[in-house]
Structure 1
């Protein structure tokens, strides 16, 4: 049952990623590129974690890869839907609100309890590392949002 739940949940999550990327590209190609970079930075460790969970639940490497690939393909559905319907500002704002809500839900309902309930001999080290990771992610997103207009014009 766990592999099915992981695949369905990840498929919905990837669909929202596709919606966010599509809405950003409908705004401008620079915004789309910055959003794609942010989603890539988020998805790489997320998909590796899902792959590890699928392997740990007893699936073969091939089956885990197929399930991961299947859930990743839902992002294209979200991308195509967002590109086709996000032609005006109001629709783009609705898509942004929907995807932001889904991302906040995942962060608050799934990741935050995992961060809080860690048993370690060095709780302050774990606390410092977790906060360093969160603050680094926020700083990267802040820099992306501040400099997305000049992202490619400076040669980055």
Structure 2
């Protein structure tokens, strides 16, 4: 419980420090970094981990499909149930973004992040049961892996109109799901370990959907070469960050 709590709080706090101090003035541009981080985390790390398990690939692909459709429906419900504010309504938004468009990604990324943190908790519990030293190393590795991802999450939330306090509070709540995952993994490891590949795939579907459906269309609206070059470079930087921090790790 201590390891999962520290892993969540430390990664959230470090990401908030970077996001709120160094990146807050360039939120609009840093959406591109978030796209690179989320896509590479899902496609180069989480999904390969899931498919390297003994789970049936067809079932995993079915989980990926159901996850994409689930997040599509969540977005539909968000549109139907919430009255969104628009630019010029007196609220502070990143220049050029309509909260009607950006706000949906903020809430959906919290759902995906919660699933991801829940899985991290299960993984930490499994490592501690194998060897306490391995558990400590696993927790440290997850903190290192989570910081760039959480920076991406904060960027999306700030871009969606969340205040710094709200973004930190909701991300912190999501991080506590790691504790729930750790407890579940500790007491029901045999059954929970079989679910890990499916939870990884479902969480990845959320990040892929958000990046492709919400964030990349925002970037496409600024299609000049002056805007495109920094976007491509920041996406590449996000990919490189994830590759560097996850190289050689399972």
TM-score range for the pair, normalised by the shorter chain length: 0.5 to 0.7
User: What 5-or-longer segments of structure 1 have no aligned partner?
Assistant: 146-156
User: Normalising to structure 2: TM-score of the pair?
Assistant: 0.43
Q: Report the CA distance shift for 1:37/1:110 in structure 2 as closer, same or farther (over 3 A).
A: farther
Distance (Å, rounded) in 1 between the aligned partners of 2:170 and 2:121: 18
Task: Specify the SS of the correspondent of 1:120.
Answer: helix
Task: Specify the SS of the correspondent of 2:194.
Answer: helix
Distance (Å, rounded) in 1 between the aligned partners of 2:105 and 2:239: 29
Distance (Å, rounded) in 2 between the aligned partners of 1:64 and 1:128: 25
Q: Report the CA distance shift for 1:71/1:54 in structure 2 as closer, same or farther (over 3 A).
A: same
Aligned length: 136
* Higher RCO by CA contacts (8 Å cutoff, separation 6 or greater): 2
- Note the C-alpha offset of 1:21: 0.8
Q: Report the CA distance shift for 1:73/1:109 in structure 2 as closer, same or farther (over 3 A).
A: same
- Note the C-alpha offset of 1:17: 0.8
Counterpart residue number, 1:79 = 182
Counterpart residue number, 1:136 = 244
Distance (Å, rounded) in 1 between the aligned partners of 2:197 and 2:129: 15
Counterpart residue number, 2:164 = 61
Counterpart residue number, 1:94 = 194
Distance (Å, rounded) in 2 between the aligned partners of 1:75 and 1:50: 16
RMSD (CA atoms):
3.5
Counterpart residue number, 1:23 = 126
Counterpart residue number, 2:135 = 32
User: Normalising to structure 1: TM-score of the pair?
Assistant: 0.65
- Note the C-alpha offset of 1:137: 3.1
Pick one of 14, 39, 45 that aligns with 2:148.
45
- Note the C-alpha offset of 1:84: 1.1
Deviates more, 1:93-102 or 1:8-17: 93-102
- Note the C-alpha offset of 1:109: 3.8
- Residues 3-24 of structure 1 deviation map (CA, whole Å, 9 limit, x = unaligned): 2211111111111111111111
